[in-house]
Structure 1
Amino acid sequence: MTNYLDSYKSIFLDITLKDFWTVFSIIHNENNLQERDKCINELIYFWSRHASCPRHSPVSFYLPVLCVRTGFDLFLRLNNFPSNSQIIMSAVNIPSMITLVQYHKLTVVPCDIDRTSTGSSVENVEKLITHKTVAIVFAHIYGRCYDVSKLIDLADKYNLYFIEDCAECFSGFCSCNVQMQNQSDNKITNNNQIQLLTSHRYYPTNLYCHTRLSSADTEIKTDDNQLENQKLCYLGHPRSHLVMFSFGVLKFCTALGGGLVKISNYDLYMRMKTLYENDPVQITEQYYLNVKKYFYLYWLLNIPHIIKPLMYIVRYFQINHMEYAIERLRAFSKTQSTEQVFSYIRRQPCKALLVFLLKRFQSYDYELIDIQREKALYVLRHLNESNSLKFVGMNASVRNFWLFPIIVQKPDLFVRLLSKSHIDAYRGTTQLNVATKQLTGTSIVLPSSNDSVPTNISEQQIYSCPKAENLIDHVIYLPVNRLVPYNVLDQLINVVNNIAKQIDQYAIKSKL
């Protein structure tokens, strides 16, 4: 059998050549586009119409931003919390989110997460709350969505902000909302939502939608020919103060940049909007340079006929090609200073980015997310979970697959053995890391104490996050996505099962 495994990567760009043609045309003709305010209003109107579903999420307010970090930084700038105030954050996060909090002279308190649900228990979070706690930030990872209802109840109990980081879990819009709104031609804008919210505020108990916009088949057949009802859509909890979405280069429905913040409170929305309007607008040339860079990387990550011969060269010369690609896909270089990063994120999206964002939402085929999930579930059904191979987030409320992570006992060995079988698995596909590894010598306040105690968080038992650390230390990412044909997935399944079996047998023999 011909080995096609080398032709596919653990990451890909969720975009087509036609989309690249569109964005280059938009940038080239930017002077002919309508005013920025109109571009922003059209983007807000689209989300107001499609994301504010009466059945699953009440009306909210929407703020287009340059990236998720821009929205979070804006929130922190606005509130100007006292120095050393504490923000509880789910332990698996990207380093720049931790740096952002520290830049505002605030303290990050990491909270452990569970591998099977990707969530945090209320009991563990409550132990971390002190009189200095001001907010809880929960990041949904890998496309999985955890039910944060009880965490929000906890935040309400202590009068804390609750923020959801949905950068990795956008999965389209709820179709039932469009069906209901098609019966009415009433336009929804942020301005005329105010009266609706103040007159009748309610929170639906069903947070998830089983039908996605443009999704023809909402049920998935299992190998037993049974129908497994899937929760497809989640656009944040209606009681979260902020819900942040990313449409950066590696995300579903990518616009090669940009993000959006969903805000539940009108006053908070207006204050954030007013502050943001004082920030400079992103230079279109910078967006163009990013798009051009991603266009070149598209050929190296998405096109099998280019990837396969390239991999012969990579393996022959033992080149760390993925490190090269990942570094260029990141919005911020490792060599950039903190001041440079903040100078970059404190900008409003340029007109070309706003227009392309809207075009992506309007033209994107959301069934592609279904295809990706179906192929991921196919692989999961045929992989043999064992001591040396475990799955991530299978008990999450929504199981979409932005990436395909697995937990293995000996990750470096596992990756090397996969490479020998021409499977290009990778350990550093995403920037996700454990907060405890970044936080050292931090001053925090222990529960039931009024004294600030300098603590090395990684060594402090109450703040240790062993489950999150184990996840990040043992996770690898397999090339499982919608671009990979089923016959190639079958090859991958056989190789991964055989390697896991070998490592299990070796572990048993070593104990004898």
Structure 2
Amino acid sequence: MTNYLDSYKSIFLDIKLRDFLTIFSLIRNEKRLSSYNILNQNLTQFWLDKNHFTNHFYLPLLCVRTGFDLFLRVNQFPEQSEIIMSAINIPSMITLVQYHNLKVIPCDINLDTLKIDINHVKRLITSKTVAIVYAQIYGRCVDVSELLDLAYEKNLYFIEDCAESFAGFCSCSSKDKTTNLDLYCPTRIQNNSEPTCYMGHPRSHITLYSFGVLKFCTSLGGGLAKISDYNLYKKMSELYEKDPIQNTEQYYTNVKKYFYLFWLLNIPYVIKPLMYIIRLLNLNHMEFVVNRLRAFSKPPQPSELFLSLRRQPCRPLLAFLYHRFQTYDYEHLHKQKENAFYVINNLKQISTLQFIGMNCQLKNFWLFPILVSKPDLFVKILSKYHIDAYRGTTQLNVITKQLLDADNLPISIDDHHKCPNAEYLIDHVIYLPVHCYVPKYVLKQLIDIVNRTAQEIEQYHLRSKL
């Protein structure tokens, strides 16, 4: 049997060649673009038209972290105020809280539902608590109504980090030909239908979306904040208007970098011969690729972080965001989900292999993570069969590890603040090349090899106990 597994990576860019041609054209013809205000209005009006609830305000951003930093800047919380955060997030979100002289209070998650326990959150709330931040991860989405009720009761801000959750707009509000139904869609709830997309809870004070390089519907940068409180929106937008606009040349540099990586991640005819050379020379190619996809390959200094975040998106980026929303092919998302469930349904449920968030209300698949008992060994064995499993695909990390490595600890990590489930996830997760571009015959090969590997490791584990 011919081995095609080398032709597919565990990450890909959700963009086509014609989209690169569009953004290169927008950058080249920047002077012909509409004014900054008109581009902003086009984008916000598009999202207003696609949403069920009209009492929201939209703010286009450079990235999710820009929106979170804006929220912290306008509120000027007293030093040592506490922000409760679900235990899995990217390091720079925690770093932002610490740079504002605030305390991060981690809250563990359930690996099957990805929920955080409401009673545990109640125990974590103190007189210093000012906000709860919940990150919807891996495209799996949780109903946060209970958490919101608690936040409103305690007069706390509630922020949803939906950086990994975008899966299109609800079709009953967007009036298009898709069959997407939002988790909180009144029609879906009335008909008791399965949800297929997630736009954040309508009562969340802020919902943050990302369209960075590895996200669905990527614009190779950019994000959006949906804000439910007008006064908060006004403060954030007025402050943001004072920030400088991103240098178009910097965005152009990033786009060119991603264009080269597109060929290394998305095009099988390029990947397969390249992988032959990489394996021959025993190179760590994924570390090279992932570092170039990230804004920072190591934790940044405060000045470096703020310099990169406190920028408004340039006009070509705003125009490209609008173009992507108008022309995006949502069939990619359906194919991604179909392929993911095909693999899940054919992988054997044994003790050495576990799925994440399979009891969430909404199961979409941004990346394909699995938990295995011996991740380094698992990756090594799969690599021998030319399967590109990888452990460091995403920046997601468990908050407690970062806090213990930092000088600015919120509190001692006692039993109330330990996050064993989240730590287990980060210590045991690997990412498989399962996505919308991988054909079924390749997935069949992958399933067979992963099943055999899991069984071999389980048998070894059982023998070692005897």
- Compute the TM-score of the two structures, normalised by the length of structure 2: 0.96
From the superposition, tell whether residues 94 and 158 of structure 1 become closer, same or farther in structure 2 (CA, over 3 Å). same
Superposed displacement of residue 293, structure 1: 0.3
Who is 2:442 aligned against?
488
Residues 323-355 of structure 1, C-alpha deviation per residue, up to 9 Å, x if partnerless?
000000012232742211111100100000000
Distance 1:236 1:336 in 2: 29
2:54 paired with 1:69: no
2:378 paired with 1:414: yes
Contact 2:378 2:453 in 1 (8 A): yes
Contact 1:58 1:238 in 2 (8 A): no
- Compute the TM-score of the two structures, normalised by the length of structure 1: 0.87
Distance 1:367 1:298 in 2: 20
Contact 2:163 2:208 in 1 (8 A): yes
Who is 1:195 aligned against?
none
Out of 81-90 and 147-156, give the one that drifted further.
147-156
Contact 1:27 1:284 in 2 (8 A): yes
From the superposition, tell whether residues 335 and 265 of structure 1 become closer, same or farther in structure 2 (CA, over 3 Å). closer
2:273 paired with 1:309: yes
Who is 1:207 aligned against?
184
Distance 2:158 2:277 in 1: 48
SS at match of 1:461: coil
Distance 2:455 2:247 in 1: 53
Who is 2:425 aligned against?
471
Distance 2:409 2:422 in 1: 22
Distance 2:114 2:96 in 1: 23
Superposed displacement of residue 229, structure 1: 5.8
Who is 1:139 aligned against?
135
Who is 1:503 aligned against?
457
Identify which of 350, 357, 360 aligns with 1:396. 360
Who is 1:111 aligned against?
107
Who is 2:305 aligned against?
341
Identify which of 234, 257, 264 aligns with 2:228. 264
SS at match of 2:416: helix
Who is 2:338 aligned against?
374
Who is 2:206 aligned against?
242
Distance 1:206 1:303 in 2: 34
Who is 1:215 aligned against?
none
Who is 2:179 aligned against?
none
From the superposition, tell whether residues 245 and 335 of structure 1 become closer, same or farther in structure 2 (CA, over 3 Å). closer
2:349 paired with 1:385: yes
Superposed displacement of residue 267, structure 1: 1.3
Superposed displacement of residue 443, structure 1: 4.9
Where structure 1 has 5 or more consecutive residues not aligned to the other structure, the ranges are 181-204, 212-227, 445-453
* Partner amino acid, structure 2, of 1:493: I
* Partner amino acid, structure 2, of 1:6: D
SS at match of 1:439: helix
* Partner amino acid, structure 1, of 2:20: F
Residues 220-265 of structure 1, C-alpha deviation per residue, up to 9 Å, x if partnerless?
xxxxxxxx96421110001100000000000000000000000011
Superposed displacement of residue 442, structure 1: 4.4
Contact 1:391 1:406 in 2 (8 A): yes
Superposed displacement of residue 206, structure 1: 6.0
Who is 1:127 aligned against?
123
Equivalence map 1:283-294=2 (5 Å): 283-294=247-258
* Partner amino acid, structure 1, of 2:92: S
Superposed displacement of residue 209, structure 1: 8.1
2:255 paired with 1:278: no
* Partner amino acid, structure 2, of 1:136: I
Distance 2:299 2:79 in 1: 27
% identical aligned pairs: 61
SS at match of 2:367: coil
Who is 1:46 aligned against?
46
Distance 1:63 1:392 in 2: 32
User: Alignment RMSD, CA only?
Assistant: 1.8
Where structure 2 has 5 or more consecutive residues not aligned to the other structure, the ranges are 177-181
Contact 1:10 1:479 in 2 (8 A): yes
Who is 1:25 aligned against?
25
* Partner amino acid, structure 2, of 1:480: V
Identify which of 276, 295, 303 aligns with 2:259. 295
2:20 paired with 1:7: no
2:86 paired with 1:90: yes
From the superposition, tell whether residues 78 and 335 of structure 1 become closer, same or farther in structure 2 (CA, over 3 Å). closer
Out of 281-290 and 148-157, give the one that drifted further.
148-157
Residues 477-501 of structure 1, C-alpha deviation per residue, up to 9 Å, x if partnerless?
0000001000000000000011111
Distance 2:369 2:86 in 1: 18
Superposed displacement of residue 507, structure 1: 1.2
Distance 2:402 2:297 in 1: 17
Contact 1:209 1:232 in 2 (8 A): no
From the superposition, tell whether residues 406 and 80 of structure 1 become closer, same or farther in structure 2 (CA, over 3 Å). same
Superposed displacement of residue 292, structure 1: 0.3
Contact 2:84 2:106 in 1 (8 A): yes
Contact 1:209 1:233 in 2 (8 A): no
From the superposition, tell whether residues 209 and 479 of structure 1 become closer, same or farther in structure 2 (CA, over 3 Å). farther
* Partner amino acid, structure 1, of 2:237: K
Superposed displacement of residue 119, structure 1: 1.6
Superposed displacement of residue 461, structure 1: 1.8
Aligned residues: 458
Who is 1:168 aligned against?
164
Out of 67-76 and 309-318, give the one that drifted further.
309-318
Contact 1:385 1:391 in 2 (8 A): no
Superposed displacement of residue 179, structure 1: 2.9
From the superposition, tell whether residues 442 and 338 of structure 1 become closer, same or farther in structure 2 (CA, over 3 Å). closer
